[in-house]
Amino acid sequence: MKKTIKAISIDPKKRTIDEIEIEASLSAYYRHIDCRTIDFVCRMPNGDALIVDDEALLSEPQPPAFKFAYFSYPIHGIALVVGNNNRGRTVEPKLTLKNVQNLVKFLGDIHTEPIINVLSWD
Whether 88 maps to a domain, the answer reads yes
Whether 113 maps to a domain, the answer reads no
Whether 117 maps to a domain, the answer reads no
Whether 119 maps to a domain, the answer reads no
Chain centroid offset of residue 98 CA: 17
Distance CA 80, CA 93 (A): 10
Q: How many domains does the chain have?
A: 1
Residue 99: which domain range?
Answer: 4-108
Average pLDDT, the chain: 92
Q: What is the pLDDT of residues 26-52, one digit of tens each?
A: 999 999 999 999 999 988 889 899 999
Chain centroid offset of residue 83 CA: 11
Stated pTM of the model: 0.90
pLDDT at site 18: 97
Q: What is the pLDDT of residues 86-117, one digit of tens each?
A: 888 899 999 999 999 999 999 999 999 887 77
Contact 25, 2 (CB under 8 A): yes
Residues paired with residue 80 on neighbouring β-strands, in sequence order: 9, 51
